[in-house]
Structure 1
């Protein structure tokens, strides 16, 4: 395939409007041919449909879809797309459960189409350099801090508090997606404390203790009620220096000096989604999939090892 990939975006929430649609519009690799949302509205002259079934019935030629719905409904939509022979990009987290994502991976393999679990934070400007610096080094300690204000970043998104919505792990999994791609060895959950508001079904804060294969401690500090400065930081101590990856992967420094400073993460998550779509195009053209559930496994293990604490009700 050398012509632009004809893509439809399914789910027109905040992340689709802020990131997916602009990234597709700027890419010469893709041609937006349709949008789909059960409650949304048309994006200009682009054909709009209320469901994937209506898109299929229209007969519009589609090569791929980017699914940006809440994770609770993503599996069935993705399965339908795969059955059409369409390549599929799954916004993070790629499903409500690991089993759903594994089943989709098997379906994509059977139909010989691409499935891409799109961990966008891995495409932040400084992540690749951080991984290169850490390669071959011995880690002694790490801390992942993901503290943000849910009222700013997820306004009106009730799905995030429902079962399968991940709560504070929806942003926290971004940090885990970076950590699982750059740390020298796998990490395992030892214990966790999850704080659930009395009126909700997902945690608003999480304190998780992990370790790597050699026993080096890794602490996770996730909070959805951060006021003032927001924190998306990973600090890794090694036997030969300390690395700090800050602003969601936009800035990197080590103990002997800065390796490079880039645009801050900001509201537009500078640079992540163009890189994400370059990767998706490369996978589609190569005819291969990239399905990684390691960040989801850590979230699931945090729930398995959790001490649940009930805290005061949360209301926007």
Structure 2
């Protein structure tokens, strides 16, 4: 086996503790040796206040995972790439398409791996859904992605600021699955964003896409749902109806459950990151992010009641 990839995490918040740390602990290809965070640390490893301090204080690092809000990620990724480290980007990969494309070019010139991760694509049933839809004539797609922002982002203000994406922070997960499983490229025709009067980012979005075959594709994202959360994609085809639920972990065809899997998303991401590093390659698919940018450009904006934490 190749020597472990020595990795550091920047941004020790909810997503790092809930997903990254358990995935790294179970992956023998990685050795977590350092963290950088203003307000938190990880027991048993060296802790630094900033990424720059971590890069200087832990020169043996091979790679870094950036789990910080997207508004600060470009500068951090540049610093890591310039220092010759491989970089894992949490989703969304940045705040603009231009900066992500610049990072990809910097990584290419430096000869390091840049991985723009889309964790929902690693859900247990996504690849089976993609395979089944590859030979199906699609008639209609409906996406319902509804959750409670207070549960998933308690007290986090960056999601409501410019670049924070608002409801597209979870909604981009649906878009990442859609761009993976649907056999044809699709594009936005109409959109409606609901923006709280005290926020800069939407709390809900309705999106209507189509493709070259004029297939109707509707998506409904909402951050106000309490109780059970809804993350599902329904695809009607001439062969039957495919239903992908629980964020991509459960697959059924015409009501028959084919896969009901466990949470394997971040295990898959770190497995893929190791593969890319070993192969000397990068993976930067900006299609889900481009659909978000299109929505902000094209959508009708409706001001709604202020968001009260």
- Return the TM-score normalized by structure 2: 0.98
Counterpart residue number, 2:94: 95
CA deviation string 1:88-145 (max 9, x = no partner): 0000000011111000000000011100011000000000100010012111110111
Are 1:241 and 1:256, in contact at CA under 8 Å, matched by a contact in 2?
no
Matches within 5 A, 1:117-266: 117-255=116-254, 257-263=256-262
Deviation at 1:57, TM superposition (A): 2.2
Q: Residues 131 and 54 from structure 1, CA distance in 2 versus in 1: closer, same or farther, beyond 3 angstroms?
A: same
C-alpha deviation, 1:260, in angstroms:
2.0
Aligned to 1:23: 23
Which residue in 2 is equivalent to 1:106? 105
List per-residue Cα deviations over 1:38-92 (Å, max 9, x = no partner): x223211200111121112214310000000000000000000000110000000
Is the contact between residue 249 and residue 259 of structure 2 (CA under 8 Å) also seen in structure 1?
no
Residue 171 of structure 1: how far off its partner (Å): 0.2
Asked whether the equivalents of residues 138 and 184 of structure 1 are also in contact (C-alpha less than 8 Å), the reply is: no
Superposed CA RMSD:
1.1
Q: Which runs of 4+ in 1 moved over 4 A?
A: none
More moved, 56-65 vs 165-174: 56-65
Residue matched to 2:79: 80
Aligned-residue offset at 1:261: 2.0
Report the secondary structure of 1:229's partner residue: coil
* In structure 2, C-alpha distance between the alignment counterparts of 1:209 and 1:313, rounded to whole Å: 26
Could you tell me how far apart the structure 2 residues matched to 1:275 and 1:311 are?
38
Q: Deviations over 1:245-300 (max 9, x none)?
A: 0000010001272222223xxxxxx1111111000000001100000000001011
1:12 matched residue in structure 2: 12
Residue in 2 aligned with 1:271?
Answer: 264
Deviation at 1:22, TM superposition (A): 1.2
With the length of structure 1 as denominator, give the TM-score of the two structures. Answer: 0.96
Q: Deviations over 1:209-240 (max 9, x none)?
A: 11122110100100000022210000011121
Contact 1:188/1:210 (<8 A) preserved: yes
SS in 1 for 2:65: strand
| 1:53 counterpart SS class | helix
Q: Distance in 2 between matches of 1:147 and 1:20?
A: 24
Other-structure match for 2:306:
313
Name the residue aligned to 1:267: none
Cα distance in 2, alignment partners of residues 17 and 27 from structure 1: 15
Matches of 1:275 and 1:56 in 2, distance apart? 26
* Helix, strand or coil at the partner of 1:104: helix
Task: Note the C-alpha offset of 1:184.
Answer: 1.0
Aligned to 1:285: 278
For structure 2, the 5+ residue unaligned runs are: none
Q: CA deviation at 1:13?
A: 1.2
SS in structure 2 at match of 1:300: helix
Partners of 1:236 and 1:289 in 2: CA distance: 31
In 2, Cα distance between equivalents of 1:111 and 1:41 = 31
Count of residues in correspondence between the two structures:
309
